[in-house]
Amino acid sequence: MADQKENKSLQLRFQDLQGVQQMKYVSLGGYIDSYNAEDFQAQVRGAIDKGFPYLIFDMGEVNYISSAGIGAFMAISKFVEEKNGDFVLLNLSRKVLEVFTLLGFNSFFKIESVFCWCLSACCVLKAQWRSRKPFYY
């Protein structure tokens, strides 16, 4: 099941991963800045509050992120921590990764370039162990 919300600056699509409980795959496109960071944060908080504390953010289509966007990920980090969850950033473009690196957040957030590495980096093994079901992607 996929939930999608789109505005002119940021596109979000929440998808379930078959066989993995408590996890959402979130496709992002556009840009994350002070204009949309609060709405982005609220939508992700909604997914977390509905029982999905494990998240993979596919940022392959994000072409810009401001410090407000990184601040939104900081807030999301606190949300998932409250629910004993985790998240990974996937497919950052060179330009977006540069922003994370210049601000020193490349060592704070889990950043991966290959989906299957995200599963282990995002503690899917913990989530899977709790559900005791096989997962598929």
| Pairwise CA distance, residues 82 & 86, whole Å | 10
Q: What is the pLDDT of residues 7-29, one digit of tens each?
A: 568 999 999 887 778 889 999 99
8-state DSSP, 8: S
Model confidence at 108, pLDDT cuts 50, 70, 90, reads confident
| Pairwise CA distance, residues 34 & 67, whole Å | 8
Q: How far apart are the first and last CA of the chain?
A: 13
8-state DSSP, 1: -
Residue among 136, 133, 69, 67 at smallest CA distance from 103 = 67
Q: What CATH code would you report for 2-131?
A: 3.30.750.24
Does the pTM surpass 0.85? The reply is no
Residue among 91, 98, 104 at smallest CA distance from 25 = 91
Q: Judge whether 80 and 53 are in contact, CB under 8 Å.
A: yes
Domain boundaries, the chain: 2-131
All residues at 6 or more sequence positions from 111 whose CB lies less than 8 Å from its CB, including other chains: 88, 89, 90, 92, 97, 100
For the purposes of burial, counting CB atoms within 10 Å of the CB of 73, is it exposed (0-12), middle (13-18) or buried (19 or more)?
Answer: buried
Q: What is the pLDDT of residues 33-73, one digit of tens each?
A: 999 999 999 999 999 999 999 999 999 999 999 999 999 99
